Amino acid sequence: MTIHPDGARATRAFYTAEDVDPAAAAERPGSFPFRRGIHPEMYRERLWRMRQYAGFGTPEDTNERWKQLIAKGQHGISAAFDLPTQLGLDSDDPRANDDAGRLGVAVDTLDDVIAMFDGIPLGETAATFNINAAAPVMFALLLETADAQGVPLDRLTGTLSNDPLIEFVARGLWRVPPAGAMRLMADTYAYALRHTPSYYPVNLRGTLVYEAGGSVIHEFAFAFACACACLDALRERDVDMEVATARFSFLFFADSNLLEEACAFRAARVLWAELVRDRYGVEAPSGQRLRFSAAIGNFNLRAQYPELNLVRNTLGALGAVLGGCQAMLVAGMDEAFEIPSEYSSLLGLYTQQVIAYESKLPEVVDPLGGSYYVEATTDRLLAEMRATLAEVDEAGGAIAAIEDGLMQRAITDAAYSYQLEEESGQRMVVGVNTPGSPPLADPDFDLHEHDNTMGARKRAALAAHRAARPAALVQQRLDELTAALDGDGDTIDPMRLALRAGATVGEIMDRCVVRYGEYAEPGTVV
């Protein structure tokens, strides 16, 4: 990749009208190419959705945390699943080891998801599920839970990550190879368009690219490359692109560099609008609008002086609002040590609320618009995003670039450069490499405490579940799923029937692995 690993660096000290494209001055919010926002009134009409990323331990533990956040003004939920669940492993799988419930909620059965949403009506609560490899199974669980609550599927709102390609690029929580993963993604997407018209069946997490060490340019360009692969898979099924693009959303990172983050979001809106129009013939504004949530903190949070993470989070949140996000989650200041405590989760929510209700920023649409620096930087970042996306296209698209390791190598190179800059002091991090920075020390506030008995209790619950379920019916439903996987028809309804009979998340994912194999990363990535 030719792009500088820190591709959003100001090129000089000040800017003038000569640096600004005159056409940009005539653009209006809510109009193509949406540089200034996807709606004419933006937050004057409706604030961004405030959804803290939360989940840990048992479904009952997570249910309690969600209710606390909703009672404090959170808009819906954003579910954090533990690593075994994200991989489609049951809590009693030997590969799960002691990870069950540690970095998110452990989900094994339909009863678990019903318990997670006990007292939280899905017809009134937007449900965001941050999961990729096992996304189809989690979507089926959501649909079954809605049925259990008596909620019509067309009333479901929220998002599902459901982008397996980004795992191959940036994080590594995969199970089946790209071809099989894309088939399952497309099955989920097509099913959602038919049955849950208000739900977003892909919330592509470009943030994973940035958190893995990629530059802001990599984050957007690689995310859009993966998005195009998803849309290509849907187009092969003759799905209406006007409808499909209108139900597509993204999750991007917002770092402390708030002005350039805002510029990056403005540039990305233009690039997405051009992509869906020029590649997929989408002329409707509903399909051209870039809808994105902003993730604040985590990657850039530090263990030294953890209270400074509140400042970093505030800067990131301001950049996201100035950049026009549609939803936001703010990490806890203690996430350099542990998953967030109840208190730090509330501080993340309150940070958003202070900006929303006290800063008065929502009263003005795109207040940065017209700034010489902002407009020039938006154009520069847009050009760099286009160039990097073109490199992926020249390599044959996202899947070919993944199989070759092209995107992974670019992220690795950028991460290495980033680390060298920090170690040399070229990149200053307050409290880490500034004069007088202290050694690492335990914080003087309470961290989240894990229940060390949780894993044993989950294993016992699974054993009881398997003993009580109708084994013959479960086997029949799993065999029907295998038949669906071997064909080219829908796989979501067979998953729903299997879960309803008592099959586990791991048993369903195992059938997918048998059909498509277990993915092994290519040696060219190293």
Render the burial of 487-498: b for 16+ CB within 10 Å, e for the rest.
Answer: eeeebbbbbbbb
**CA-based angle 461:462:466, to the nearest 5?**
120
pLDDT, residue 101, reads: 66
Q: What is the 3-state secondary structure of 454-489? A: HHHHHHHHHHHHHHHCCHHHHHHHHHHHHHHHHCCC
pLDDT, residue 349, reads: 94
Fold for domain 47-424?
TIM Barrel (3.20.20)
pLDDT tens, per residue, the chain with 526 residues: 443 345 445 667 788 887 888 887 778 999 999 999 999 999 999 999 999 888 888 899 899 999 999 999 999 899 989 989 999 999 888 888 777 766 789 999 999 999 999 999 999 999 999 999 999 999 999 999 999 999 999 999 999 999 999 999 998 889 999 999 999 999 999 999 999 999 999 999 999 999 999 999 999 999 999 999 999 999 999 999 999 999 999 999 999 999 999 999 999 999 999 999 999 999 999 999 999 999 998 778 888 888 999 999 999 999 999 999 999 999 988 888 877 888 889 999 999 999 999 999 999 999 999 999 999 999 999 999 999 999 999 999 999 999 999 999 999 999 999 889 888 888 888 888 888 887 777 777 666 676 677 777 888 889 999 999 999 999 999 999 999 999 998 999 999 999 999 999 999 999 999 999 988 776 554 4
Q: How far apart are CA 63 and CA 43, in angstroms?
A: 29
Q: Which of 443, 53, 8, 55 is nearest to 255 (CA)?
A: 8
Tokens coding 383:
């050009």
**SS3 state at 129:** strand
> For 243-267, what is each residue's pLDDT tens digit?
999 999 999 999 999 999 999 999 9
Helices (H), 250-370: 258-280, 285-288, 308-323, 342-358
Tokens coding 444:
């003087």
pLDDT, residue 1, reads: 44
- Residue 54 pairs in a beta bridge with 79
Instruction: Please answer whether residues 196 and 123 qualify as being in contact, where contact means their C-beta atoms are separated by less than 8 angstroms.
Output: no
Backbone angles phi, psi at 457, to 5 degrees: -65, -40
